[in-house]
Amino acid sequence: MKKDNKTIGVTIRFFANALPDHVGGKNNQIPFWTCGNVHLEANKTKGVKPSDEMFNYFDDIPRAIKTVLSRSKLVAVEDVAYSMRAEKRHFNNKLNKK
- Rg of the chain taking only CA atoms, in angstroms: 19
pLDDT digit string (tens) for 47-78? 999 999 999 999 999 999 999 999 999 988 87
Indicate the domain borders of the chain.
10-97
Reference 41, options 8, 74, 89, 4; nearest CA is 8
The pTM assigned to this predicted structure is 0.71
pLDDT digit string (tens) for 23-47? 777 667 788 888 999 999 999 888 9
